[in-house]
Amino acid sequence: MRKVHFEDLGLVDYKKAWDYQTTIFQKSIGVKIDKRKNPGNGNETQNHLLFCEHPHVYTVGNSGNKDHLLLSDAILKEKGASFYKINRGGDITYHGPGQVVAYPIFDLDHFFTDIHKYLRFLEEVVIITLKEYGIIADRLPGFTGVWIEPNIPSRARKICAMGVKCSRWVTMHGIGFNVNSDLNYFGHIIPCGIEGKQVTSMQKEIGETINLDHLKAALKTNFANVFDFDYY
């Protein structure tokens, strides 16, 4: 059985979490490089799953466009938000309190070496979790992430964004799952570069604040079930 080390970092500065992810990621890369040079050394990579929330922050991926952030630097500061250009796929997105962020730092050699399958599994974790709360969600063809009513263009709304980095089959970054998010902050960007699409949250869909501890417990369980691993 695959093993994954889990940590809930709580509310943590984006850069601090990014640096922490990078340390784990680079360690796994180093182990794999060394293993190729010295096959009998006995060292193995470890898999990690991090949950957290971030203070208000906008991030844009390698292929993204900063013009999709509709705020000047001065107004960004007024709103108590920060901005980072980061090393993941995808365009611009927002993270903030009430959004559960999950960062799987997995060695896909332990699972399957297929990045598209990996993205679909991430989506499935969220889809199953939402179903437990009575929210029916699905994928929107041509886009990543998880959507409510994706088959009705005028009503399609995104509840979970995704952006990942993968090197030597080790992953980092992950998902931003809108649970009790302040959706007003999405009004200052073209989310993931998709014009004319809405963004939503569990709180908005259900009409009440979601208990984050319960939600994270369900999400944690569904990660293990979908990816078929145990925690240690």
Q: How far is it, in rounded angstroms, from Cα 85 to Cα 65?
A: 10
* Contact of 90 with 163, CB cutoff 8 Å: yes
Q: Return the pLDDT at 64.
A: 74
Q: Is residue 170 part of a domain?
A: yes
Q: Is residue 141 part of a domain?
A: yes
Q: How far is it, in rounded angstroms, from Cα 189 to Cα 69?
A: 5
What secondary structure does DSSP assign to 23-78, as a single string? HHHHHHHHHHHHHHH-TTS-----EEEEEEE-SSEEEE-TT--GGGB-S-HHHHHH
Q: Is 192 a catalytic residue?
A: yes
Q: Is residue 99 part of a domain?
A: yes
Q: Return the pLDDT at 191.
A: 62
Domain count across the chain:
1
Domain that holds residue 102: 2-227
* Active-site choice (52, 160, 166, 192): 192
Q: Is residue 142 part of a domain?
A: yes
CATH of the domain at 142: 3.30.930.10
pLDDT of 188 strictly over 90: no
Mean pLDDT across the chain: 93
Q: Return the pLDDT at 195.
A: 59
Q: Is residue 232 part of a domain?
A: no
Least confident residue range of 17-31, 33-47, 116-130: 33-47
